[in-house]
Structure 1
Amino acid sequence: MTVRRFDPYKLDYLVSFRQFAEYVNNRTRGRRYDDRELSEQYAAYKRDYTKRQCKKFFDAHHEMAWFREKYHPMERQRWIEEVHALKRENYEQFKLDAAAGKYDDICLDEGVTDVKTLANINADEESDTVLFVKSITPAIGREKVIEMCKSVEGFRYLAVSDPNALKRFHRFGWIAFKEGSDIKAAFDKLNNQKIEEFEFHLGFHKKVPNVKPRYAPEITNHPQRLKKDLGRIADVIAVLDDEVRSDLNGIELVNELFHKICATKLSTETNGTMESIDTWKMKKQLDLLIEYLRQVHMFCYYCGFGADNPMDLERRCPIQHYRKVGEIPESPGAYWRADYTLDKWTRALDARLDFKDKPAHKIDVEPLGGRQTEDVSTACSWDYMSKIAEQRYACTLCSKQFLGPGFVMKHLGNKHTIKVDDLVQKQFYNNYVRDPNRLMPNMQPPTNTFFPQIASAPVGTPLDQIPRIGFEPPTTPAAPLALPAMPRQVTSYVDLDAPAEGDLELNYG
């Protein structure tokens, strides 16, 4: 059988380093590239592949309701305002809890807190203010669901999860009601309601049961890593605080709490050596910042993941991570040389945080096919829009007021013929590629019975973390290597009119 070789740049999946190297060397007969040159070319190939996959996914989903609500600069503005309002409430609650001493004994080291007990507190208790929506089709936007929920007295807000690519991009939802609302009556009225022939099935929200403790690897206890995490988390908090409101200052709030705790607990929780005091201070300050990030911004630092509501955060990351305690070498590099997985974990975390520790318009999106441009709201507000109150914006041309920048931009285009469509479209795509947890097409190669399945990177793997698959030495003699064939491609030619050799067997199965 004659096997055709394919250009990896035209395939819809990522080939291994070994396959790529053979393709490059066969393409330039007479020259064999060394490992450094092949690595550089493979890195460029992965960048091009990720760029193509982002564009492919954007083109396929940019008209869907869930996608526009999440990334479109105009349509997502209202939901952003709702999330910011929730974060402001969280901020005030964190201040009250801090003043009451709730976080004075916080320590995220393994073994200090009984995390098994913590994970299962009230695990089976039903919420008396939240209903769980089992499925929301991707074609139905939040606005229509909210209109349905407003028919129930006490409705507070609707929270929606990210779509599940394995479930045809359906989403979960949570309907929150005010304290004292009749949750049973709300369930009876909303359950089995229909929107556009889609029937909603509800349940009573419960905490995730039987949660296993989650641990960050031992390297997170290394002084160098603790110091690095302190700097990174401070940058993340500064950006998220500024997005919500300019007078939010989590760093200052946590520092005041930290100094108060040091004054009362430093002598009792350390052995008095300078090294132990420095490490204790770094951990205590870092733990307070991690807790602030989770409680106020619903962001898990060691996951690098942020949610728009506490229920989705609880679903994705039910409890806080704890740092594993173990033997700590002099340098973090000792971990990486001994365990490639640890190196991969820390680099993947840093790659996700790279999208969170700076303002969105300063993130370089050109390698992913984006176009550098100012944030749409900012760009338009200089000349045509002003903020006059919380969640209240005005058009400077006619003084008409709106609930968000997105509505002002729509008004400018409709009433004042100020066209911002091109800028909006660029920002739309930029918002998608700036999301470190963005969904992408399936990166697995097609199943092929003639060739072994080739492993590939999972969805969401950071660009520089896609491994050089197949570069490790084989344990058995390698057969001549060929790229898996694409579906519907001719891989061989057989002359059906030629004389048969041996017994002829026809299979019509």
Structure 2
Amino acid sequence: MSLEYQVGFNYFAEWWRVEQVIKEEKERAKNGGRKPVLKGEREAREERGKEREQIQAAYDEYKEKLQVQMAKSFVDKHKREEWFKERYDPAYLKTFKAKLRSYRHAIYTDWERQLDDGIFDEFTLEGIYKNESNGAGGIVEKEEGETTAANEVLGVGDLLPCKGGELRDEAALQPTLLIKTIAPTVNREKVEEFCKEHLGEGAGGFKWLSLSDPNPLKKCHRIGWVILHPGEDAQPMIIDDRGDGRDEDNEDGAVKEDIETLQTPLGTAHKALEALNGKTVIDDDRGNFTCHVGVHEPPTAPRKKALWDLFSAPERIERDLQLAERLVFKMDNELKEYPEEEFGNVDGLSKIEQRVEDLRSKGWLQPPANAPVPAKKKEVEELEEGEDEAMEDEDEGLYDEEVDDEELLAKKKKLDLLIEYLRRVYNFCFFCVFESDSVHELTRKCAGGHLRRPRSSLTTAAKATARATATGQSFPYKKQETGDAEAEVGTVEEKKASKLSAKTQQQLQRAFNWVKTYEDKLLQLLEPDTVDLKKLGGKPLEEALEDEMEKYVRQEDESKWRCKVPDCTKLFKGQHFWRKHVEKRHVEWFEKLQNDINLVNTYVLDPAHIAPSRSDANSNGHFPMGNHVAATGTPRGFNLANMNFNPANAGMQNGFNMALFNPAIAGGNWDATFGHDDRHQGGPNRRGGHRFNNRTAGPYDRQQRDGRNPRFAGSGGRLTPPPRGGRGGGGGARFGDGGPGPVQSTQGRSIKSYEDLDAVGSGGNGELNY
């Protein structure tokens, strides 16, 4: 509980076992008793099972308590910083949301026009494996019966978009300035006033200020983007259909010659750069801030991330569609809080449903290029790319279940448009579950969005796991106990599990956990009242008030309760009288206490909050560590048994965490004064004779190759250090003259036999040579 991060289960389990050993030793020392005898294999296995249950319960309790403690500490540390107030303080948040709605409504109007113009008619989130892509949004020609195989290890970057999936948001290409660093104390409104003062709000002037999440690695500093209105003479930037800068007729990747001359938004940004760079934002309350600005250049080809294969299953598509519809409905209603006559009606969900129905009635909804063709086409056509060999042998009805029918195609299309709608209008990534205040912050967090894997690559086990995530069931494959030979597998799913390799089952478990976490985060936004605050690190208001107020009252007698609120010492007959006194006489203090509790709860309910339990500053996935940052916390795959360390040592009772990674502290007979002699550290010093001229030879130095020469007989193979001033040069005192004794000379080494240390023969069985 005193560490600054949450430890892993294995770390906690080893600590728990050591604590139990210490408690048992104390009990035996106090009450007497015999040490436990060795148990049989069956009893030991049963005890291990019970012990694991106890450890899991203790670990869950530890996590819950630690989350509450760390969330409160984090809020207390950062609640006065501007970025924290903007995200969680109700007064700041209300003002910012009002500005954000106005900005987003203009984006919604553009999106509505593009939807009606058919820009998104071919848009899709279907992906193609890189090794099967033909480079034009389709797949390479396959042999008869060849199907898409799932990758053995799923990676985030192993997919390319189908034709229509490479569509880019033009808002990312508008003229923009980058503010390179913004201190946590800098106020958003002051920066906005500064930009308006120097740039104006007309053509080529200030349009919107976007600020990133704070970076924990850089003392919670942020970066910012000053989004500009297009200049008066601005022409549209050249955007090719591929999104990679190539012309349709120019396959060698050459950039068009006149592209630079037409990029007038760049000229707009350079003018604004000269007006802002090096200028100072004046703020008498928080301190002045000098703006260091550059021209923002968006990524030329944003990387799209591949989703887990579970998202390609029909059951998962339906579940995600429900969640997306609820989220769009909620966010549209928040955008409607302005009067309709001022901003017009906002209803993205109805618009998308209507557009999908139009496409369906025209027959434009087609399966992706990598999907198998329906079985009925086999009689009149040759096998097409992506066709499954099951068409030849299996029943036609069984195969038809693997083909996207019109209903599923309509659901996929609606889901894809809703996800893109959330990205463009609300700068919200549906799968990462975080909201940004501009397309630039969204691109920094999640560059190109996500792609679904081909449905044909789903395995039977993946389908069962996807079905479990969609219906709220537990993971369908349980780990089998290898030690119990008499255990029988009862259910069908458990029988299937025995056929899965450990690697496949582990990957499915990871996918299941990822999908569950993603869905839980979405429900934090959709159903905040039903969330278990304690698991997230918060507490219900009434319970938290009781816990906090107990610290400010003291019972001095059966009917005497002393008020300990600052500057108050009144005495009351009962605790309920004291509670009324606090609510009536200490109104300001009581309201501040309530606000602090609500602030913690608001913070933990944010699914993209900066989590203090992670020591790697990568808590919400946006700030990957550099190579220079040393990793802290529990190592992956930690196991104390592999560290050659005896946890039963009594010297660990008060210093387990230090001894865990420093074996020198763990030794019970360690002599602290011995370490002050820099010539004789713990353990044998093998320095190779005269290799270091200013050092004495170690107590167990082996002979060098020419050590047989009589001239060197006095310097090699010595058991004790040489006398001071001897041939070794400046040697230390001998044993008996104040030098180290035999215990210290071998300290730190577990000696099995002298042959192990000093054997001359290469086989390790020669005679000792002193």
Name the TM-score, length of structure 1 as normaliser.
0.74
Q: Which residue of 1 aligns with 2:388?
A: none
* Matching residue within 334, 344, 349 for 2:513: 344
What residue number does 1:235 align with?
326
Distance 1:55 1:486 in 2: 30
Aligned counterpart, 1:261: 359
For residues 164 and 138 of structure 1, the distance between their equivalents in structure 2, rounded to whole angstroms, comes to 10
What is the aligned partner in structure 2 of residue 293 from structure 1? 422
Which secondary structure state, in structure 2, belongs to the residue aligned with residue 87 of structure 1?
A: helix
Q: Residue 429 of structure 1 aligns to a residue in which SS? A: helix
Match of 1:328 among 424, 433, 458: 458
**Structure 1 residue ranges without an equivalent (≥5):** 1-8, 375-416, 445-455, 462-466, 505-509
Query: What are the superposed Cα offsets for residues 172-227 of structure 1, whole Å, 9 maximum, x if unpaired?
Result: 11112223265433211210112345422111122124433321122110112112
**2:314 pairs with 1:223:** yes
Letter in 2 for 1:435: D
Q: Is the 8 A contact 1:134 1:172 kept in 2?
A: yes
Question: Conserved in 1, the CA contact under 8 Å of 2:174 and 2:227?
Answer: no
**1:142 equivalent in alignment to 2:188:** yes
Counting only pairs closer than 5 Å after superposition, residues 86-105 of structure 1 correspond to structure 2 as 86-105=103-122
1:62 is aligned to 79
Offset of residue 94 of structure 1: 2.0
Q: For residue 447 of structure 1, what is the aligned residue in structure 2?
A: none
Name the counterpart of 1:496.
673
**Which is higher, the Rg of structure 1 or of structure 2?**
2
Q: Is the 8 A contact 2:181 2:224 kept in 1?
A: yes
State the secondary structure of the residue aligned to 1:174: strand
CA distance in 2, matches of 1:216, 1:328: 13
| 3-state SS in 2 of match to 1:132 | strand
Q: Which has the higher contact order (CA 8 A, sep 6+)?
A: 1
Deviates more, 1:50-59 or 1:157-166: 50-59
Of 390, 397, 404, the match for 1:276: 404
Contact 2:64 2:535 in 1 (8 A): yes
Q: Distance in 2 between matches of 1:146 and 1:264?
A: 48
- Taking a change above 3 Å as real, the CA distance of residues 370 and 82 of structure 1, as seen in their structure-2 partners, is same
CA–CA distance in structure 2, aligned partners of residues 211 and 250 of structure 1: 25
Given the alignment of the two structures, is residue 16 of structure 1 paired with residue 16 of structure 2, yes or no?
no
Q: Structure 1 residues 119, 131: closer, same or farther in 2, change over 3 A?
A: farther
Q: Note the C-alpha offset of 1:323.
A: 0.7
SS in 2 for 1:345: helix
Partner of 2:152: none
Query: After the TM superposition, which residues 411-426 of structure 1 pair with which residues of structure 2 at under 5 Å, given as runs?
Result: 421-426=592-597
Among 66, 89, 104, which residue is 1:72 paired with?
89
SS at match of 1:459: coil
> What's the CA shift for 1:297?
1.4
Query: How far did residue 279 of structure 1 move?
Result: 2.8
**1:49 and 1:99, CA in 2 relative to 1: closer, same or farther beyond 3 A?**
same
Give how far 1:337 is off.
2.5
Decide whether aligned partners of structure 1 residues 98 and 363 sit closer, same or farther in structure 2, where only a CA change above 3 A counts: same
User: Would you say 1:191 and 2:277 are equivalent positions?
Assistant: yes
C-alpha distance in structure 2 between counterparts of 1:98 and 1:81, whole Å: 26
Q: Which residue of 2 aligns with 1:356?
A: 525
Query: Given that residues 120 and 210 in structure 1 are in contact (C-alpha distance below 8 angstroms), is that contact kept between their aligned partners in structure 2?
Result: no
Shift of residue 135 of structure 1? 0.9
Q: What is the CA-CA distance between 1:167 and the residue it aligns to?
A: 1.8
Displacement of 1:420 after TM fit? 5.8
- Partner Cα distance (2:100, 2:182) in 1: 19
Note closer, same or farther for the CA distance 1:288–1:486 as it changes in structure 2 (3 Å cut): farther
Give the superposition deviation at 1:425.
3.2
Paired letter, 1:192: G
Q: How many residues align structurally?
A: 438
Distance in 2 (CA, whole Å) between partners of 1:206 and 1:26 is 55
**Alignment of structure 1 residues 75-474 onto 2, 5 Å:** 75-111=92-128, 112=137, 115=161, 129-151=175-197, 152-154=199-201, 155-180=206-231, 182-195=268-281, 196=287, 198-245=289-336, 248-265=346-363, 269=367, 271=374, 276-277=404-405, 278-325=407-454, 326-330=456-460, 331-333=463-465, 337=505, 339=507, 340-358=509-527, 360=528, 363-372=531-540, 421-441=592-612, 443-444=614-615, 459-460=619-620
Question: 1:268 deviation in Å?
Answer: 5.0
Q: Is the 8 A contact 2:13 2:55 kept in 1?
A: yes
- Alpha-carbon separation, structure 2, partners of 1:89 and 1:139: 30
Conservation of the 8 A alpha-carbon contact between 1:134 and 1:202: yes
CA drift of 1:122 comes to 9.2
Please say which of residues 205-214 and 131-140 is displaced more in the overlay: 205-214
Provide the secondary structure at the position in 1 that maps to 2:90. coil
| Alpha-carbon shift at residue 372 of structure 1 (Å) | 4.1
Show the counterpart of 1:480. Answer: 646
| Gap change, CA 1:309 and 1:280, over 3 Å in 2 | same
Sequence identity (%): 23
Alpha-carbon distance in structure 1 between the residues aligned to 2:294 and 2:326: 39
Query: Compared with structure 1, are the counterparts of its residues 458 and 200 closer, same or farther at alpha carbon in structure 2 (3 Å cutoff)?
Result: closer
Q: Which amino acid aligns with 1:87?
A: R
Q: Secondary structure at the match of 1:47?
A: helix
* 1:427–1:128 Cα change, 3 Å: same
3-state SS, counterpart of residue 596 of structure 2: helix
Query: Residue by residue, what CA displacement relative to the aligned partner does 1:279-317 show, whole Å, maximum 9, x if unpaired?
Result: 322211211211111122111112222211111112212
Distance change >3 Å, CA 259–CA 209, structure 1 → 2: same
| Residues 421/257 of structure 1: CA separation in 2 closer, same or farther (3 Å cut) | farther
Distance 1:460 1:314, change over 3 A: closer
Tell whether the 8 Å contact from 1:161 to 1:173 is kept in structure 2 after alignment: yes
Instruction: Write out per-residue CA displacement over residues 137-193 of structure 1, whole angstroms, 9 at most, x where no aligned residue.
Output: 111111221221121222222111111111221111111222326543321121011
Cα shift at 1:67 = 1.2
Does the aligned pair in 1 maintain the 2:280–2:290 contact within 8 Å?
yes
Q: 1:314 to 1:235 in 2, by over 3 A?
A: same
Counterpart CA distance in 2 for 1:484 and 1:107 is 52
Deviations 1:265-288 (A, max 9, x none): 357548486752133222112112
> What one-letter code is carried by the residue in structure 2 that aligns with 1:207?
P
